[in-house]
Amino acid sequence: MTMKLIPRKITDSIVEYLDTQEIILLIGARQVGKTSLLKIIQNHLFAKGVTAQSVYFLNLEDPLVLGYLERGVNDFLGYLRSIGTDLSRRNYILIDEIQYLSDPTGFLKLIYDEYPQLKLIVSGSSTLEIRQKFRDSLAGRKVIFELYPLDFEEFLVFKGEEQLAELYRECCLRRLLKKEDSPVVTLPARYRSQEFSQYYQEFVLNGGYPRVTLESDPKRKLVYLTDIYNSYIRKDIKDLMRIDNPLAFNNLIQLLAVQSGQMVNLVEIGTALKTSRQTLERYLFLLENTFVIHLLPPFFSNRRKEVTKMRKVFFLDTGMRNLLLKSFEFFAGRQDVGALIENAVFSNLYKNRELLEDIHFWRTQSQNEVDFVLRTSTTVPIEVKFQAMDKAKVPPGIRFFLRRYPAKVAFVLTRDFWDRTQLGETTVYFIPVWMA
């Protein structure tokens, strides 16, 4: 299947840096669309009048290309000169899978320092591998962008539903945080809620990997998801990370899929898997830094406590979670639907977090709880209630939270219920989960 080149939301942010000297570093999990995004940037340059003789695309998964770059910068620049490249003018070098270079820092730094007219745009699949190979000498020389599996808005675009995607942009939770009008009265999307719900179910079950989204056949979707996971275990875990016991690592991932949305208790997990705490901590670190999971910290007014307390685990892609559980049943037939929806909400919030925004959960010793808290200069509590609802009843957890931490707005994410109510100074919105 030939992948369509469909722009991602992050594209415009990257394009803004094409005229600067900084190295553009695009990182993300395997098969989230980094190569396609580099090609989109390449096409953008062509559309702006940059000639093909000034744009070079190098994929380091090709052993021949990798071997050529391993010879060093001088050989690479000599090759460019030999094919008629004018190195005194602006040229764009796009390098895919930069982590395969043995010394990417030295290669990129030398070009950056000695040839500022060469613009470097590079991608990498593992933040951990990149951190190991990218030394501090690149500080101040790079700008980093993270690419994730599709969020729900992008999913609609990839499904060819541009009109629904535009309606989503006008009514989603992020938009509601920036405007005052009521979603209950003014949102045209309310009248197409059933369509949104159907697409949301497909999105949550299969996840947001572009190749999976573009495939219409359910069996092929499963084949592609399985291939993505196996490739991750084979390339990132066995080859790059040198995990000597992939079976134990795989058992941990499967256990985390069962426990998604729950707090990670290393003592209990270590006992269940017969694995040391030190090994578990290393494995969790690897899983976070290869974009599989995120460990969500608790919310405290004292930020130091957030570092020491247990965190909740969520998967960045719900399709990957469902693959590990071997469960792709529709919402109505699932016993884990609450945990699945909560994970999906987290994933979409995380992919769309604002600059300097933190996401937390909140829980007290007396078990008062709020599923998510967005924190920048203000706080926004969010509770997931994926159940039948006929009136705007504010959950106890949000009530307790607002007594301690007053907020302008709060959200209750429902199955299909829309409303708005006032709780003191706080406006509480009741909106479907797909709007998060």
How far apart, in Å, are the Cα atoms of 139 and each of 114, 351, 378, 408?
Answer: 16, 25, 31, 38
Cβ(372)–Cβ(346) under 8 Å?
Answer: yes
CA angle 211, 213, 214 (to 5 degrees): 70
Is 282 in a helix, a strand, or coil? helix
Residue 301: what pLDDT? 77
Describe the strand order of the beta sheet including 419-423 as a list of residue ranges. Answer: 358-363, 369-375, 379-385, 409-414, 426-432, 419-423
Residue 132: what pLDDT? 62
Among 419, 223, 237, 433, CA closest to 349? 433
Start-end of H helices in 177-245: 183-186, 193-206, 210-214, 218-231
Q: And the tokens for 114?
A: 């000695």
Is 431 in a helix, a strand, or coil? strand
The CB density around residue 230, as the number of other CB atoms within 10 Å, is 10
Where does the chain hold its CATH 3.40.50.300 domain(s)?
Answer: 11-147
Task: Taking each helix axis as running N to C, give the angle between helix 277-289 and helix 246-258, from 0 to 180 degrees, rounded to the nearest 10.
Answer: 70
Residue 248: what pLDDT? 85
What distance in Å separates the CA atoms of residue 37 and residue 272, rounded to the nearest whole number? 41
Residue 192: what pLDDT? 92
φ and ψ at 383, to 5 degrees? -120, 135
CA-CA-CA-CA torsion for 322, 348, 227, 156, nearest 10 degrees?
A: 110
Task: Taking each helix axis as running N to C, give the angle between helix 318-325 and helix 193-206, from 0 to 180 degrees, rounded to the nearest 10.
Answer: 60
Cβ(428)–Cβ(398) under 8 Å?
Answer: yes
Start-end of H helices in 49-178: 63-70, 73-82, 104-114, 127-133, 152-158, 162-171, 173-176
Residue 180: what pLDDT? 56
Residue 328: what pLDDT? 97
Cβ(176)–Cβ(429) under 8 Å?
Answer: yes
Among 317, 434, 318, CA closest to 384? 434
Classify residue 146 as left (phi > 0), alpha (psi -120 to 50) or beta.
beta
DSSP state of 3: P
Q: End-to-end CA distance of the chain, in Å?
A: 31
List, in sequence order, every beta strand (DSSP E) within 320-377.
Answer: 358-363, 369-375
What distance in Å separates the CA atoms of residue 363 and residue 297, rounded to the nearest whole number? 11
CA angle 118, 124, 130 (to 5 degrees): 100
Is 427 in a helix, a strand, or coil? strand
CATH classification (class only), 11-147: alpha beta
> Which residue type does 69 have?
L
What distance in Å separates the CA atoms of residue 321 and residue 334, rounded to the nearest whole number? 14
3-state helix vs strand vs coil in the chain, percent to 5: 50, 20, 35
pLDDT tens for the chain, 436 residues: list them. Answer: 456 799 999 999 999 999 999 999 999 998 999 999 999 999 999 999 999 999 999 999 999 999 989 999 999 999 889 888 899 999 999 999 998 898 898 999 999 999 999 999 999 876 666 666 666 667 788 999 999 999 999 999 999 999 999 999 988 999 888 875 555 545 678 889 999 999 999 999 999 999 999 999 999 999 999 999 998 887 777 766 777 677 889 999 999 999 999 999 999 999 999 999 999 999 999 899 889 999 999 998 766 654 558 999 999 999 999 999 999 999 998 999 999 999 999 999 999 998 888 999 999 888 899 999 999 889 999 999 999 899 999 999 999 999 999 999 999 999 999 999 999 999 999 999 999 9
Q: Which residues of 352-391 are buried (b: 16+ CB within 10 A; e: fewer)?
A: beeeeebbbbbbeeeebbbbbbbeeeebbbbbbbbeebee
Residue 187: what pLDDT? 63
pTM (two decimals): 0.93
Residue 185: what pLDDT? 44
Among 161, 210, 185, 195, CA closest to 30? 210
Residue 243: what pLDDT? 78
